[in-house]
């Protein structure tokens, strides 16, 4: 049971990583002059979109937290709308935090917002897929000792890694190397992406490593 669960998790994560790698390679076949650094905004859009859709599809297939409650159409629609609202609010929130961190308020607002969307995709969308629009559950997962399945652990690790990656990505900006990737927000979004990928890789390994200590209790 446990091993099959971890294998499922690993396969989901590998698909996610593959989708990110594809976003850097495939568009150059269709678009002229495409490169991650040169046309960074396009890449940001493509990457957010593909990771987002990938995540949604994967979690619809695997259903890590199957809900036992009623599944009427109206309920599903309401849930979907709530998800969208949550996602949008998180984009705005991330945008606000990035501006508070010192991003320019008005100039390059599009770059900042797309970076916020990317971060939301890596963190909020992932949460929405696993936990649904349930704020209490989020609080539970992100508090100490709150994880109730390996999916929750995976969520914790990837979210933290992407945020920390974005945080670390800001450090090269003041250096005077004059490299193309030092331009706002490239280093941060690359940092977030690398963090996310690292999180996806680390999570199954870490869970596998600690499988003895992990004893989940359902409420």
Partner 1 sequence: MRLRSGVFASCCLLVQALGVGLFLRGFFPLPVRSLPRNGAAAEPPPEPPPPGLSSNWTKGPSPLFKKAVIVLIDALRDDFVFGSKGKQFMPYTTQLVERGTSHSFVAEAKPPTVTMPRIKALTTGSIPGFIDVIMNLNSPALLEDNLIWQAKTAGKRIIFYGDDTWVRLFPKHFVEYDGTTSFFVSDYTEVDNNVTRHLDKVLKREDWDLLILHYLGLDHIGHLSGPNSPLIGPKLSEMDGILKKIHTTLLSKEGEVASPCLLVVCGDHGMSETGSHGGSSEGEVHTPLLFISSAFDRRNGLQKPTELVQQTDLAVTLAIGLGLPISRNSVGKLLLPVVQHNTMREKLRYLHMNGFQLSRLLQENMPAYEKDPGFEQFKVAEKSHGSWMKLYLEGNTSEVLLNFGKKVLKQYLEALKTLSSSLSQQVAQYDLYSMVVGTVIVLEVLLLFLISISKALSARAEFEVPLSPPLCSLLFYLLCLTLCAIHVVVCTSTGSLSYFCSISWLSAVGVIMLVSGLLCVLLSALEKRFLNPKLLVKNPAASTSSWSELDVLILAGTIGHVTSLGASSFIEEEHQTWYFLINTLCLALCQDICRHYFLAKEHDLQLPSTAQMSPAEVRGTSSHPMKDVELLQDDLKKTRFPLSESAGGSEKWMALATPWVILICCRLLRSLNQTGVQWAHRPDFGHWLTSSEHKAELSLLASVSLVLIFILVQRKCSLVSKIAMALGLLGVYSYRAAIGNVVFPWQQDSKDISKGITEARFVYVFVLGIVFTGTKDLLKSQVLSTDSKVKFIGLWEIYSGLVLLAALLLRPHNLPVLVFCLLIQAMMTKFVWKPLEFDAAQVTIMHYWFGQAFFFFQGNSNGIASVDIAAGFVGFDHYVEIPAVLLTGFATYSGPLLWALHLLCYLSSDVNRNPAAMGHGCFCYALLHSIPVAAYIILVTGLRYHLFIWSVFSPKLLYEGVHVFISTAVCMFFTAMDQNHSRKGPV
Residues that bind partner 1 (CB under 8 A): 97, 99-102, 105, 139-140, 143-147, 153, 156-157, 160, 167, 170, 173-176, 206, 210, 213-217
Q: Which residues contact 124 (CB under 8 A, 6 or more apart)?
A: 86, 87, 90, 91
CB of 156 to partner 1, least distance (A): 5
Quote the least distance from Cβ 101 to partner 1, whole Å. 5
Q: Round to the nearest angstrom and report the end-to-end CA distance of the chain.
A: 20
Nearer to partner 1, 31 or 97 (CB): 97
Radius of gyration of the chain (CA): 18
Looking at the Cβ atoms of 194 and 206, the one nearer to partner 1 is 206
Q: Which CB, 121 or 154, lies closer to partner 1? A: 154
CB contact at 8 A, 173 and 128: no
Query: Shortest approach of partner 1 to residue 178 CB, angstroms?
Result: 9
Helix runs in the chain, H state only: 2-25, 27-30, 40-62, 73-100, 109-120, 126-131, 135-141, 150-169, 186-209
Smallest distance from partner 1 to CB 100, Å = 5
- Nearest CB to partner 1, comparing residues 46 and 207: 207
């Amino acid at each position: 049971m446990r091993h099959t669960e971890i294998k499922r998790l690993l396969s989901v994560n590998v698909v996610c990583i593959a989708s990110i790698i594809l976003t850097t390679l495939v568009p150059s076949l269709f678009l002229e002059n495409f490169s991650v650094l040169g046309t960074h905004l396009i890449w940001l859009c493509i990457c957010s979109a593909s990771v987002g859709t990938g995540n949604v599809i994967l979690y619809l297939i695997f259903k890590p937290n199957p809900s036992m409650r009623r599944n009427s159409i109206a309920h599903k629609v309401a849930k979907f709308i709530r998800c969208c609202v949550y996602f949008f609010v998180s984009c705005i929130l991330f945008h606000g935090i990035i501006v508070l961190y010192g991003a320019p308020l008005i100039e390059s607002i599009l770059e900042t917002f797309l970076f916020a969307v990317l971060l939301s995709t890596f963190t909020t969308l992932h949460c929405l897929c696993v936990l649904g629009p349930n704020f209490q559950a989020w609080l539970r997962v992100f508090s100490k000792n709150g994880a109730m399945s390996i999916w929750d652990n995976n969520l914790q690790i990837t979210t933290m890694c992407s945020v920390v990656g974005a945080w670390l990505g800001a450090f090269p900006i003041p250096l005077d190397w004059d490299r193309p990737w030092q331009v706002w927000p490239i280093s941060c979004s690359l940092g977030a992406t690398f963090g996310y990928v690292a999180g996806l890789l680390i999570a199954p390994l870490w869970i596998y490593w600690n499988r003895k200590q992990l004893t989940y209790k359902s409420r």
